[in-house]
A and B are shown apart, each in its own frame.
Chain A
Amino acid sequence: MDLSSINPLVLITTVMIAATPILLAALGELIVEKSGVLNLGVEGMMITGAICGFAIAVETGNPALGMLAAMVGGALLSLVFAFFTQILLANQVATGLALTLFGLGLSSLLGQGYVGVKPPSTPKIDIPLLSDLPVVGPVLFQHDMVVYFSILMVVVIWAMLKFSRIGLVLRAVGESHDAAHALGFKVVRIRIMAIMFGGAMAGLGGAYLSLVRVPQWVDGMTAGAGWIALAIVVFASWRAGRVLLGAYLFGGVTILQLNLQAAGVNLPVEYLSMSPYLITILVLVIMSAKGGRASLGAPAALGRIFHASS
Chain B
Amino acid sequence: MIHLEKRAEPSQLWAAFTPVLAVILTMIAGGLMFAALGKDPFEVLRTIFWDPLFSEQFSAYSRPQLLVKAGPLILIAIGLALGFRAGIWNIGAEGQYIIGAISGAAVGLAFYPTESWLIYPLMVIAGATGGWAWAMIPAILKTRFNTNEILVSLLLVYVAEQLLASMALSTLRNPEGNGFPGSRNLSQYWSTSNPELITGTGMHLGVLFAFITVIMAYILLHKHMLGFHIRLTGESPRAARFAGVNPTRLILICLGTSGALAGLAGLFEVTGPAGQISIDFNVGYGFTAIIVAFLGRLHPVGILLAGLLMALTYIGGELAQFMLGLPGASIQAFQGMLLFFLLGVDVLTNFRIRIGHGGAK
Which chain B residue shows the least CB distance to A93? Answer: B89
- The answer to whether the Cβ of A40 comes within 8 Å of any Cβ in the partner chain is yes
CB contact list, A216-246 vs B, under 8 A: 219, 223-224, 227-228, 230-231, 234
- The answer to whether the Cβ of B20 comes within 8 Å of any Cβ in the partner chain is no
- The answer to whether the Cβ of A108 comes within 8 Å of any Cβ in the partner chain is yes
Given A284-B152, A292-B146: 9 more A-B contacts, CB < 8 Å: A98-B336, A105-B332, A105-B334, A268-B166, A274-B158, A280-B155, A284-B151, A288-B148, A309-B360
Q: Could you tell me which A residues sit within 8 Å of B by CB distance?
A: 40, 80, 83-84, 88-91, 93-95, 97-99, 101-106, 108-109, 112, 219, 223-224, 227-228, 230-231, 234, 268, 270-271, 273-274, 277-278, 280-281, 284-285, 288-289, 291-293, 307-310
- The answer to whether the Cβ of B343 comes within 8 Å of any Cβ in the partner chain is yes
CB contact list, B313-361 vs A, under 8 A: 327, 329-337, 339-340, 343-347, 350-351, 359-361
CB-CB < 8 A to B152: which residues of A?
Answer: 281, 284
Please list 24 pairs of residues, one from A and one from B, whose beta carbons are closer than 8 Å in the complex, sorted by A's number: A89-B4, A90-B343, A90-B344, A94-B294, A97-B91, A101-B287, A101-B291, A101-B332, A102-B333, A102-B336, A102-B339, A112-B327, A224-B157, A231-B155, A268-B170, A270-B163, A274-B159, A281-B155, A284-B148, A284-B151, A291-B146, A307-B6, A309-B6, A309-B360
Q: State in angstroms the CA–CA spacing of A264 and B247 once bound together.
A: 47
| Cβ A270 vs Cβ B151 within 8 A | no
Q: State in angstroms the CA–CA spacing of A307 and B351 once bound together.
A: 11
| Cβ A277 vs Cβ B156 within 8 A | yes
Q: From known contacts A227-B155, A268-B166, A270-B163, infer whether A234 and B361 are also in contact, taking CB-CB under 8 Å.
A: no
Q: State in angstroms the CA–CA spacing of A6 and B252 once bound together.
A: 44
| Cβ B154 vs Cβ A227 within 8 A | yes
Q: How far is the CB of A172 from chain B (nearest CB, A)?
A: 21
CB-CB < 8 A to A277: which residues of B?
Answer: 155-156, 158-159
- The answer to whether the Cβ of B11 comes within 8 Å of any Cβ in the partner chain is no
Which chain A residue shows the least CB distance to B337? Answer: A102
| Cβ A271 vs Cβ B166 within 8 A | yes
| Cβ B5 vs Cβ A98 within 8 A | no
| Cβ B5 vs Cβ A105 within 8 A | no
Q: How far is the CB of A183 from chain B (nearest CB, A)?
A: 17
- The answer to whether the Cβ of B32 comes within 8 Å of any Cβ in the partner chain is no
Q: State in angstroms the CA–CA spacing of A227 and B169 once bound together.
A: 27
- The answer to whether the Cβ of B114 comes within 8 Å of any Cβ in the partner chain is no
- The answer to whether the Cβ of B150 comes within 8 Å of any Cβ in the partner chain is yes
CB contact list, B116-173 vs A, under 8 A: 141, 144-148, 150-152, 154-159, 162-163, 165-166, 169-170
- The answer to whether the Cβ of B290 comes within 8 Å of any Cβ in the partner chain is yes
Q: State in angstroms the CA–CA spacing of A271 and B150 once bound together.
A: 23
| Cβ A310 vs Cβ B6 within 8 A | yes
Q: How far is the CB of A107 from chain B (nearest CB, A)?
A: 8
Q: State in angstroms the CA–CA spacing of A219 and B170 once bound together.
A: 25
CB-CB < 8 A to B157: which residues of A?
Answer: 224
| Cβ A84 vs Cβ B158 within 8 A | no
Which among A91, A103, A104, A108 is the interface contact of B343 at CB below 8 angstroms?
A: A91
Q: From known contacts A94-B294, A105-B336, A285-B145, infer whether A227 and B151 are also in contact, taking CB-CB under 8 Å.
A: yes
- 6 nearest A-B pairs in the assembled complex, by CB-CB distance: A102-B336, A105-B332, A105-B333, A108-B329, A309-B360, A270-B166
Q: From known contacts A90-B346, A94-B294, A98-B343, infer whether A309 and B359 are also in contact, taking CB-CB under 8 Å.
A: yes
Q: Could you tell me which B residues sit within 8 Å of A by CB distance?
A: 4-6, 37, 89, 91, 141, 144-148, 150-152, 154-159, 162-163, 165-166, 169-170, 287, 290-291, 294, 327, 329-337, 339-340, 343-347, 350-351, 359-361
CB-CB < 8 A to A83: which residues of B?
Answer: 344
| Cβ A90 vs Cβ B347 within 8 A | yes
Q: State in angstroms the CA–CA spacing of A270 and B337 once bound together.
A: 33
| Cβ A88 vs Cβ B347 within 8 A | yes
Q: From known contacts A89-B4, A284-B151, A309-B359, infer whether A274 and B163 are also in contact, taking CB-CB under 8 Å.
A: yes
Q: How far is the CB of B341 from chain A (nearest CB, A)?
A: 9
Q: State in angstroms the CA–CA spacing of A223 and B148 once bound together.
A: 20
Q: State in angstroms the CA–CA spacing of A97 and B339 once bound together.
A: 9
Q: State in angstroms the CA–CA spacing of A280 and B151 once bound together.
A: 10
| Cβ B336 vs Cβ A278 within 8 A | no
Q: State in angstroms the CA–CA spacing of A101 and B345 once bound together.
A: 18
Which among A93, A106, A108, A309 is the interface contact of B361 at CB below 8 angstroms?
A: A309
Q: How far is the CB of B3 from chain A (nearest CB, A)?
A: 8
Q: State in angstroms the CA–CA spacing of A271 and B162 once bound together.
A: 7
CB-CB < 8 A to A94: which residues of B?
Answer: 290, 294, 339, 343
Q: State in angstroms the CA–CA spacing of A268 and B165 once bound together.
A: 10
CB-CB < 8 A to B337: which residues of A?
Answer: 102
Q: State in angstroms the CA–CA spacing of A81 and B165 once bound together.
A: 34
Q: State in angstroms the CA–CA spacing of A25 and B351 once bound together.
A: 34
CB-CB < 8 A to B169: which residues of A?
Answer: 270
Q: How far is the CB of B19 from chain A (nearest CB, A)?
A: 14
Q: State in angstroms the CA–CA spacing of A220 and B37 once bound together.
A: 21
CB-CB < 8 A to B147: which residues of A?
Answer: 281, 284-285, 288-289
Q: State in angstroms the CA–CA spacing of A227 and B159 once bound together.
A: 13
Which chain A residue shows the least CB distance to B164? Answer: A270
Q: State in angstroms the CA–CA spacing of A57 and B220 once bound together.
A: 55
Q: How far is the CB of A202 from chain B (nearest CB, A)?
A: 16
Q: How far is the CB of A178 from chain B (nearest CB, A)?
A: 13
Q: From known contacts A102-B337, A108-B329, A285-B145, infer whether A223 and B343 are also in contact, taking CB-CB under 8 Å.
A: no
Which chain B residue shows the least CB distance to A103? Answer: B336
Which chain A residue shows the least CB distance to B340? Answer: A98
Q: State in angstroms the CA–CA spacing of A97 and B4 once bound together.
A: 25
CB-CB < 8 A to B329: which residues of A?
Answer: 105-106, 108-109, 112, 219
Q: State in angstroms the CA–CA spacing of A277 and B153 once bound together.
A: 11
Q: State in angstroms the CA–CA spacing of A91 and B360 once bound together.
A: 22
Q: State in angstroms the CA–CA spacing of A88 and B337 once bound together.
A: 15
Which among A104, A234, A274 is the interface contact of B151 at CB below 8 angstroms?
A: A234
